[in-house]
């Protein structure tokens, strides 16, 4: 588990984790008090069957909104960052009353393996996202998103391939002065931040 918030005693955190994971009790309190990481929250969603299906190695931040989780499928290594997944179209209720009809605008959302969806992106009902896809921050996605795509904009459009983006980012990372540090280890954080500030802002950076 991630480092604890100082205001929350460790025994209480352990109790809340146990109740949420094992019995599905106090999940909202666990989310607020323990501030689980995206990996931890995805593990709880999977453990408690909160989505239609969820694969391995996923990360779902706690500020992600999923309106109809029973119709959402996540593959392996899916990362959701502050986005919204809409399973229904609320405009149908207005049209039903205005025209005296009965419209049901609900659709599944299926997300393949190795997908990242950025902050404030919106995925609309009936969307299928392929494998190896990056959805940029603020994008609005609908329909079928092909494999190996980078999608940006409103409405989202394909601007390149994830393969090309990964190659560019890998080359850029090789030139970073902090490439020898393990960014996942808290012990390296001070040196990592120092090197980044020096690189970004020059010798006078603190």
pLDDT in tens, 22-65: 888 889 898 888 899 999 999 999 999 999 999 999 999 999 99
| Number of other CB atoms surrounding residue 149 within 10 Å | 22
pLDDT of residue 4: 44
Average pLDDT, the chain: 91
| Number of other CB atoms surrounding residue 24 within 10 Å | 13
Mean pLDDT in residue range 100-119: 96
Q: How far apart are CA 150 and CA 141, in angstroms?
A: 12
Backbone angles phi, psi at 193, to 5 degrees: -65, -35
Q: How far apart are CA 3 and CA 157, in angstroms?
A: 39
Decide which of 187 and 145 is more confident. 145
Q: How far apart are CA 18 and CA 53, in angstroms?
A: 22
Look up the pTM and report it.
0.86
Collect all residues with Cβ–Cβ distance below 8 Å to 194 and sequence separation of at least 6: none
Decide which of 195 and 184 is more confident. 195
Q: How far apart are CA 51 and CA 69, in angstroms?
A: 5
- pLDDT(3) > 80: no
In three-state secondary structure terms, 38 is: helix
In three-state secondary structure terms, 171 is: helix
Which range among 7-21, 29-43, 126-140, 142-156 shows the weakest confidence by mean pLDDT?
7-21
Q: What does CATH list as the number for 38-161?
A: 2.160.10.10
Where along the chain do its domains lie? 1-36, 38-161
Mean pLDDT in residue range 84-91: 95
Which range among 70-74, 112-116, 137-141, 183-187 shows the weakest confidence by mean pLDDT?
183-187
């Amino acid at each position: 588990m991630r480092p604890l918030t100082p205001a929350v005693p460790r025994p209480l955190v352990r109790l809340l984790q146990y109740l949420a994971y094992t019995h599905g009790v106090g999940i909202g309190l666990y989310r607020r008090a323990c501030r689980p990481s995206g990996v931890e929250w995805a593990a709880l969603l999977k453990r408690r069957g909160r989505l239609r299906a969820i694969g391995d190695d996923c990360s779902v931040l706690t500020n992600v909104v999923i309106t109809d989780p029973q119709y959402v499928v996540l593959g392996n290594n899916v990362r959701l960052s502050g986005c919204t997944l809409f399973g229904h179209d609320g405009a149908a209720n207005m049209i039903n009353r205005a025209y005296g009809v009965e419209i049901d605008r609900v659709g599944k959302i299926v997300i393949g393996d190795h997908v990242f969806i950025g902050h404030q992106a919106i995925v609309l009902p009936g969307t299928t996202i392929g494998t190896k896809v990056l959805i940029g921050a603020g994008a609005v996605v609908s329909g079928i998103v092909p494999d190996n795509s980078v999608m940006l904009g409103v409405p989202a459009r394909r601007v390149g391939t994830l393969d090309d983006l990964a190659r560019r980012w890998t080359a850029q990372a090789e030139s970073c002065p902090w490439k020898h540090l393990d960014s996942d280890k808290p012990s390296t954080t001070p040196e990592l931040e120092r090197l980044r500030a020096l690189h970004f802002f020059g010798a006078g950076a603190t």
